[in-house]
Amino acid sequence: MPRGRRGGRVSALEGGPEEEAPPAAAAVPSALWASQLQPEAAAGQILLRGIFEIGRSSCDVVLSERALRWRPIQPERPAGDSKYDVLCKEEFIELKDIFSVKLKRRYSVKQQGSGTLLGITLFICLKKEQNKLKDSTLDLINLSEDHCDVWFKQFKKILAGFSNRPKSLKIILNPQSHKKEATQVYYEKVEPLLRTAGIKTDVTITEYEGHALSLLKECELQEFDGVVCVGGDGSASEIAHALLLRAQKNAGKETDRILTPVRAELPLGLIPAGSTNVLAHSLHGIPHVVTATLHIIMGHIQPVDVCTFSTTGKFLRFGFSAMFGFGGRTLALAEKHRWMSPNQRRDFAIIKALAKLKPEDCEISFLPFISSQNLQERKVEGSPKSVSNDQWQTIQGQILNVSIMAIPCLCSVAPRGLAPNTRLNNGSMALIIARNTSRPEFIKHLKRYASVKNQFNFPFVETYTVEEVKVRPRTNSAPNLEEDAGRHAAASENNFPWNVDGDLVEVASEVHVKLHPRLINLYGGSMEEMNDSEVNCNCL
């Protein structure tokens, strides 16, 4: 007979055959804590069985290859009492959702040494609503040192089997992001979780713009399993660019012209601590610090498409999204008013750019995306134009805005994304062109981003799914962004402002954007689509 909570014994299976490492953690954690029963067979071979107190009930606890299951031990009961059956329902967690285990001890003031053992604490990643993850704990109470020691070692062995989880991370933190709260975000919310998970960290706090780029050119990265950015889109994009540039150099590729880039060697984690956090929001479906941290800890990986930006054959940078025209001008205006708070300068810049709304005379050429399935179908049909995808198309005219996006670009002003039909790694980009129209019509189009549907249902808006785009302004002079105040010169003479991942990039002539599928691994899980009722926004 089991001896109850003080002396709960480990069953005959204790010290049984060597267990296999658990299957690698799947991309999506499915912590369904006690929400449904899992058939015993699906949980795999039993490794340990014993008695622990869980939530004030003495429980029969079974550890198998994939799950930990427990059921309150039933006292003698009158036959047919259904209340007991409900109370004694089996509960479980999947082992892939555990990210740490510790011995639980009580320390008293007078006590010397390691304190009184109370049992074992498991640290668990729970899936909540709307892509949110949350950390939680499960206490397995048993005062026997021997009993806990056997279980503790077994949990440690299981955790060591998750080889995809990072053990050491390079953290790059921008203390200036948003309202300068990145340091606080990291030390209050991220670092405690990484410490609990036993992940070693090496933190660099950036001291100037471009610091992350120069750091990642030189620093040793061998000892790290991944890099983590704590900041906003500017920092995240700079670090992704730096990691990709480093990979090209390591592969002996020239970096002046990048045609077929190699993949980044290390995964990148994004902790949202900036003003807009479009990248982290698109990756996680929610700009939530704990969710982002738990994806890193659990080693969830998403391969993500990246673009190269070049001009006149010369490589400029890697990036995920870009805007030209209204989007570029708005950022250029916002950058000139850095002294304002992030929200103030964003609103100010939007209003000012709308007041001075002016189309750009452009030529836009693009290579439409043809899915591998469509290419295959064309091959079968034996179409003469068929098998290669080299059908460039060209549009000319007065254009208010061009958006080129390899990722959905979720943000507070567009909860479904500025490019809602794009995915992180579908091998294509959204090209969204707003031709010249009246200011009220353009504002109506912008406002639609905040709602659920029909953002692009305007006669002046065209959308394409593409692999490559070339944007060539046909006017000679770039816009003067500060005509009224002589204090600032135009963005830079004869340069056109582009917004690349929230960074101002000034280019005098044609910009060539090319998509490279799955070029970087980001720490993140696969996303659930949001219901319409879950989307809300009150901007503009």
Ligand X SMILES: Nc1ncnc2c1ncn2[C@@H]1O[C@H](COP(=O)(O)OP(=O)(O)OP(=O)(O)O)[C@@H](O)[C@H]1O
Interface with ligand X by CB under 6 A: which residues?
174-178, 206-211, 231-235, 238, 274-277, 342, 502-503
Nearer to ligand X, 205 or 530 (CB): 205
DSSP letters of 91-129?
A: EEEEGGGEEEEEEEEE--SS--TT-EEEEEEEEEEEE-S
Cβ-closest position to ligand X: 232
Considering the complex, state which of residue 362 and residue 411 has its C-beta at the smaller distance from ligand X. 411
Give the SS3 label for residue 216: helix
Least distance from ligand X to the Cβ atom of residue 152, Å: 40
C-alpha 299/C-alpha 524 separation (Å) is 8
Tell me how far, at minimum, the Cβ of 211 lies from ligand X, in Å.
6
**Strands 321-325 and 393-405, sheet pairing:** antiparallel
Q: Kindly tell me which of 29 and 234 has the beta carbon lying closer to ligand X.
A: 234
Q: Which is nearer to ligand X, 19 or 238 (CB)?
A: 238
CB 526 to ligand X: min, Å: 23
Separation CA 520–CA 431 (nearest Å): 21
Task: Report how far residue 280's alpha carbon sits from residue 274's, in angstroms, rounded to the nearest whole number.
Answer: 10
User: Minimum CB separation from ligand X for residue 363, in Å?
Assistant: 30
User: Which of 231, 479 has the CB closer to ligand X?
Assistant: 231
Contacts of 304 (CB under 8 A, 6+ apart): 283, 320, 406, 407, 424, 425, 518, 519, 520, 521, 522
DSSP, residue by residue, 443-512: HHHHHHTTSSS-TT-STTEEEEEEEEEEEEE-SSS---TTSS-TTS--SSTT-EEEEETTEEEEESS-EE
- Nearer to ligand X by C-beta: 72 or 231? 231
Residue 311 CB, shortest distance to ligand X, in Å, is: 20
Rounded to whole angstroms, the Cα distance separating 213 from 460 reads 39
Q: How far is the CB of 411 from ligand X (least distance, A)?
A: 9
- Torsion over CA of 475, 481, 482 and 488, rounded to 10 degrees? -100
| For ligand X, the closer CB: 266 or 409 | 409
Residues 6+ apart with CB under 8 A from 382: none
Q: Which amino acid is at 18?
A: E
Residue 94 and residue 1: Cα distance in Å, rounded?
28
Strand 57-64: give its sheet, edge to edge.
Answer: 91-94, 67-72, 57-64, 46-54, 133-141, 116-127, 98-106
Query: Residue 111 or residue 343: which is nearer to ligand X going by CB?
Result: 343
Alpha-carbon Rg of the chain, whole angstroms?
28
Residue 280 CB, nearest approach to ligand X (Å):
9
Q: Supply 152's token pair.
A: 């503790």
d(C-alpha 128, C-alpha 286), whole Å: 12
Nearer to ligand X, 148 or 504 (CB): 504
CB of 498 to ligand X, least distance (A): 14
Q: Give the separation between CA 445 and CA 455, rounded to whole angstroms.
A: 6
Of residues 237 and 437, the one with the C-beta less far from ligand X: 237
Tell me phi and psi for residue 5, to 5 degrees: -70, -30
Identity of the residue, 119 or 319, whose beta carbon is nearer to ligand X in the bound complex:
319
Tokens standing for residue 347: 């609103």
Residue 174 C-beta: closest distance to ligand X, Å: 4
The distance of closest approach from Cβ of residue 133 to ligand X in the complex, given in angstroms and rounded to an integer, is 21
| Closer Cβ to ligand X, 152 or 449, answer by number | 449
CA distance 172 to 212: 7
Nearest approach in angstroms of CB 347 to ligand X is: 13
Backbone angles phi and psi of 290, in degrees to 5 = -65, -40
- What is the rounded CA–CA span in Å between residue 363 and residue 367? 14
CB of 218 vs ligand X, minimal distance in Å: 16
**125 vs 190, beta carbon nearer ligand X:** 190
Nearest approach in angstroms of CB 470 to ligand X is 26
- List, in sequence order, every beta strand (DSSP E) within 179-266: 200-205, 226-231
